Structure 1
Amino acid sequence: MSALSFAALLLALLAQPADAHGLSNVDPGSLWSYDPWLMAPLYAVGIGFYVGTQRLWRHAGGGRGVSFRQVAAFWAGWLIAALAVTSPLHWLGEQLFAAHMLEHELLMAVAAPLMAFARINGPILWSLPVSFRPAAGRVLNLPILAWPWSFVSHPMSATILHGVALWVWHAPPLYAWALENPAVHRLQHFSFFATALLFWWVLLHGRGRGRSIRVRDGIAVACLFITILHSGVLGALLTVSPRLWIPVQGALAGEFGLSPLEDQQLAGILMWVPMGILYTCAALFFAYRWLTADDGHSRLWLVQHPG
Structure 2
Amino acid sequence: MRALILLAVMLLAPGGAAWAHGGAADGEVASWTFDPWIVTPLLITGLLYAAGSVRLVRRVHRLNSVRAGAFWSGWLTLAATLTSPLHWLGEHLFTFHMIEHEILMAISAPLIVAARPLGTMLWALPRGIRRWSGRTLNLPMPRGAWSWLVRGGNATLLHGLAIWVWHVPLLFDAAVDQVALHRLQHLSFFGSAVLFWWAVLCRSQAGAAAWHVVITMLHTSVLGALMALAPRVLYSAQTASSAAWGLTPLEDQQLAGLIMWVPAGTIYAGAALVLIVLWIKSSSKKARSSDVLHAV
TM-score range, shorter chain: over 0.9
Q: Does 1:249 align with 2:238?
A: yes
Match among 161, 165, 179 for residue 164 of structure 1: 161
Structure 1 residues 238, 52: CA separation in 2 closer, same or farther (over 3 Å shift)?
A: same
Partner of 1:7: 8
Question: More displaced, 88-97 or 17-26?
Answer: 17-26
Deviation at 1:224, TM superposition (A): 0.6
CA distance in 1, matches of 2:89, 2:14: 9
Q: Does 1:105 align with 2:102?
A: yes
Match among 136, 141, 150 for residue 139 of structure 1: 136
CA distance in 1, matches of 2:121, 2:161: 28
Structure 1 residues 226, 24: CA separation in 2 closer, same or farther (over 3 Å shift)?
A: farther
Partner of 1:36: 36
Structure 1 residues 25, 11: CA separation in 2 closer, same or farther (over 3 Å shift)?
A: farther
CA distance in 1, matches of 2:186, 2:279: 33
Alignment of 1:1-307 (within 5 A): 1=2, 3=4, 5-12=6-13, 14-16=15-17, 18-19=19-20, 21-22=22-23, 26=27, 28=29, 31-63=31-63, 67-206=64-203, 216-303=205-292, 305=294
CA distance in 2, matches of 1:205, 1:23: 50
Q: Secondary structure at the match of 1:79?
A: helix
Partner of 1:212: none
Question: More displaced, 104-113 or 242-251?
Answer: 242-251
Report the AA paired with residue 274 of structure 2: F
Partner of 1:213: none
Count of residue pairs brought into register by the alignment: 295
CA distance in 2, matches of 1:130, 1:86: 33
Deviation at 1:141, TM superposition (A): 2.2
Report the AA paired with residue 165 of structure 1: A
Structure 1 residues 252, 289: CA separation in 2 closer, same or farther (over 3 Å shift)?
A: same
Question: More displaced, 292-301 or 234-243?
Answer: 292-301
Deviation at 1:222, TM superposition (A): 1.1
Report the AA paired with residue 84 of structure 1: T
Deviations 1:157-188 (A, max 9, x none): 11111111101111111111111111111111
CA distance in 2, matches of 1:86, 1:79: 10
Deviations 1:56-115 (A, max 9, x none): 22222323xxx2111111111111111111111111111111110001011111111111
Contact 1:18 1:25 in 2 (8 A): no
CA distance in 1, matches of 2:82, 2:24: 20
CA distance in 1, matches of 2:6, 2:22: 21
Deviation at 1:53, TM superposition (A): 1.7
Deviation at 1:221, TM superposition (A): 0.8
Deviation at 1:297, TM superposition (A): 4.3
Q: Under a length normalisation based on structure 2, what TM-score does the superposition of the two structures give?
A: 0.92
Structure 1 residues 297, 233: CA separation in 2 closer, same or farther (over 3 Å shift)?
A: closer
Q: Under a length normalisation based on structure 1, what TM-score does the superposition of the two structures give?
A: 0.89
Report the AA paired with residue 142 of structure 2: L
Percent of residue pairs identical: 43
Unaligned ranges ≥5, structure 1: 208-215
Q: Secondary structure at the match of 2:280?
A: helix
